[in-house]
Structure formats: C-alpha cells, structure tokens
Amino acid sequence: MEFLKYLMLLFLIGDTTKCLCNGQDTDLFYPFGNEDIRSPRTDDGSSPEILLEKPFVYFGRVNQKTYVNNNGHLTFDGPFSQPMPYYLQSQFNRDIIAPLWTDMDNTVNGTISYRQVTSGGLLLAASNNINQYFPNLNFTASWLFIATWDKVPYYNNLQSKSTFQVVLVSGKTCHLQSCITVKSLRPHNFLCPAMTQVIQLIPF
C-alpha cells in the first residue's frame, strides 16, 4: 500500500460528554493507576531506563529501551529534561514522541506512570482501536507500552491540571509493524474538553 511509506496522523475528536469533567473519571484512556510504575517526583525529571519487553521499531530504528520524561515526551537514547520545544534543529538526531511537550511539574501534584502489556484484553482493545480506523490492515497487537500523565500541573501554576496518555503498540500485519496512539484531556476553566486521539502508523 503506497501510503504506508509515509508517517500518517489521524486526529479524532471524541464525545465531549465522556471526558474528565467536574472531578469525574473518564473511560477514554487505556487503564492506568495501581498496576503502573510511577516516575519520580522531580521537576524536569524522567523515569529510570525502562527495558522494553519487546523491541519497538520507530522509523527503522529498533529500540530496546525508553524513558518517560516528565515534560510530556518519550525518548529512547536517554532521559531528556528540556521543558519546551525550543531549538528543535539541535534535536534532529534524537527520536522524540511528544504527546504534550510543555513545562510540567509533578513535584507536588499529579502522577506520571507507565506499564507494559503483553497479554490480556488490552491487546484486543488496541487491535480493535487501530483496525477501526484502518480496516484494511488486519492488525493484531502483541505488546503495549502505556505512559500516562494524570492531573499534572504546569510549572508555577499548581492550580492547573493536564491528563494525557501515549500508547506504543507493536504487532503483526502484512503492512504494519508499529504504531502509536495518543489520548489527551486538557481541562479548561469553563468547558469540559474533547478527547484528541492521534494514531501514527510506522512502516517496516
């Protein structure tokens, strides 16, 4: 399929009545919480090195480890503390997956956590999620990496809260090896926000 030679982005706006609003939980995300490993409470910090249970191929690079950085991004070659996407030309040799790259501060409030999944119903959910929007792929997920920033405030603004999630998925299809989904909720003072979902398809 010719289009799979290129990175693809799919933006979907979800039902605003199902999002995080008035302190109520949401079902828009993959499960997170008690079974997750939590990142340290450090401003501009990062998780320790995370060894991936299965390799993740990203633009032809085979990655065996990753880092969940507190400022809203994943990296593969080491922790990354940069709080804002400035001077991007200096980062061209670094793979960065950034669902919400901004200056976050989890030292007082909010939780940053992650988990890996290699069996169970979440693999089926991820497969269905991808096949719903790309029905010709017949994709079957075999591994997930789920990282979640839950109610994390911005730096110098402890009253703010942002909740978002990135999911790395690897599996099998004749066309596709890896993909990424991003789900985010950005609370607003007056309106309950929509969910934004991004699916990136990475060819072999």
How far is 57 from 64, CA to CA, in rounded Å? 9
Predicted local distance difference test score (pLDDT) of residue 82 = 86
User: For residue 66, which phi and psi values (nearest 5 degrees)?
Assistant: -150, 170
- Pairing state of beta strands 50-58 and 61-69? antiparallel
Predicted local distance difference test score (pLDDT) of residue 195 = 40
What is the torsional sign of CA 93, 180, 54, 74?
positive
Predicted local distance difference test score (pLDDT) of residue 6 = 29
Q: Is 59 exposed, middle or buried (0-12, 13-18, 19+ CB in 10 A)?
A: exposed
Tens place of pLDDT for every residue, the chain, 204 residues?
333 322 333 322 223 233 333 334 456 788 998 889 999 999 999 999 999 999 888 888 889 999 999 999 999 999 998 888 876 666 667 888 988 899 999 998 999 999 999 999 999 999 998 888 888 888 889 999 999 999 999 998 888 888 989 999 888 764 555 666 555 554 332 223 334 455 555 544
How far is 179 from 58, CA to CA, in rounded Å? 9
What is the torsional sign of CA 122, 125, 131, 132?
negative
Q: Which residues contact 137 (CB under 8 A, 6 or more apart)?
A: 130, 131, 173, 175, 176
